[in-house]
Amino acid sequence: MSALFTGWTGALALSTVVIGVAMTFVAYMTWLERKVAARMQNRIGPYEVGFPHGWLQPLADVLKLLVKEDITPRAADPLLYNLGPLLVVVPALVGFAFLPLGKGLAIVDHPYSFLFFTALASLTLLGIFAAGWASNNKYALLSALRMVAMAASYEVPMILALLIPALLAGSFQLTAVVEAQRGLWFIGYPLVGQLAFGIFLLCALAEGNKSPLDILDAESELVAAYNVEYSGIKFALFYAGEYAHTLALCGLAATVFFGGYLGPAFLPGFVWLTGKCVVLFVLILWIRWSLMRMRIDQAIRINWMFLLPASLANLLIAASWVVRD
């Protein structure tokens, strides 16, 4: 098995598997979201396409978007305009390669994989800005400017919150972080773990454009925000990128706070990881479909007045704990 997954052919095979599995996963998470949202709203959700419960709906959605006309506005900057969707979707998908599926079973098991993951997650925002700027549309531009303000704010507490598991594990390697949780998951560390996870969850809502912090995606104000000029497969890429990004963040949270692949041995590790990831995703959906959207000044005030001091204090407590041990 190891011979199969070495060298360039191995890398190609692995990345094909990762992209295929991740994209299918993402597509079915849209189905899950529609079902969860429908149940919350006294509806049934997708039902007609595929028996039972419209399980072929994601496929139908992708097919529909594939055959739609692909438009590039005359006044848009074609290079950035076409690069935008790729910049959103690729980093989000690469993120999946770092998540350890079992002991020593990460596709990329780099000593600094944790840092690399967070750096990649931030790259997504570059694609959003490129799209908003290059569309030559005022709504898209406003959305891109909002994105800069939000990213500059929410990246900071997110990284600080993610430093806590790294600090507790004493490593930036995701597999090592998971192994360090064999005794107790990091979410179980009193105060430090829960606070860090709470801050991370709020930041993940902001990064993944989920209500109440979907400031840059505010379609009731900015119509469709940064992707207002996009159609067809490029729009689908934005959509997939947004979900992949959210799911990758859920996977990261499952890995660094909830013990990743750890779990009773009757199921393989990747099942545990996927299960935890889906549970976290449903938690995000629950928040998303219950709350109204904040205004941008309120969202940024909460960040600088509460999230940042709290995450700094949390880091201090965790550091003193680690040093004392």
Query: Taking the complex as a whole, how short is the minimal distance between the CB of residue 305 and another protein, in angstroms?
Result: 14
294 binds another protein (CB under 8 A): yes
Q: Which residues of 57-92 are buried (b: 16+ CB within 10 A; e: fewer)?
A: bbeebbeebeeeeeebeeebbeebbbbbbebbbbbb
Instruction: Give the span between the Cα atoms of 53 and 99, in whole angstroms.
Output: 31
Which sign does the torsion angle of CA 200, 201, 202, 207 carry? positive
Query: Taking the complex as a whole, how short is the minimal distance between the CB of residue 139 and another protein, in angstroms?
Result: 8
Query: Taking the complex as a whole, how short is the minimal distance between the CB of residue 33 and another protein, in angstroms?
Result: 9
Query: Taking the complex as a whole, how short is the minimal distance between the CB of residue 114 and another protein, in angstroms?
Result: 31
In the set 19, 37, 86, 282, which binds another protein (CB under 8 A)? 37
Name the nearest CA neighbour of 252 among 145, 96, 108: 96
Query: Which positions from 264 through 283 interact with another protein, judged by CB under 8 A?
Result: none
Query: Which positions from 84 through 143 interact with another protein, judged by CB under 8 A?
Result: 138-139, 142
In the set 41, 170, 283, 304, which binds another protein (CB under 8 A)? 41
Query: Which positions from 59 through 78 interact with another protein, judged by CB under 8 A?
Result: none
Query: Taking the complex as a whole, how short is the minimal distance between the CB of residue 222 and another protein, in angstroms?
Result: 8
H or E element that contains 108: none
Query: Taking the complex as a whole, how short is the minimal distance between the CB of residue 288 and another protein, in angstroms?
Result: 6
H or E element that contains 43: none
Q: Which residues contact 215 (CB under 8 A, 6 or more apart)?
A: 146, 150, 206, 293, 294, 295, 296, 299
* φ, ψ at 245 (rounded to 5°): -60, -50
In the set 66, 297, 304, 320, which binds another protein (CB under 8 A)? 297
Query: Measured between alpha carbons, how far apart are the two ends of the chain, in Å?
Result: 41
223 binds another protein (CB under 8 A): yes
227 binds another protein (CB under 8 A): no
39 binds another protein (CB under 8 A): no
Query: Which positions from 182 through 221 interact with another protein, judged by CB under 8 A?
Result: 210-212, 214, 217-221
With respect to another protein, which residue has the nearer C-beta, 64 or 138? 138
**Residue ranges in contact with another protein by CB under 8 A:** 37, 40-43, 138-139, 142, 145-146, 210-212, 214, 217-223, 288-298
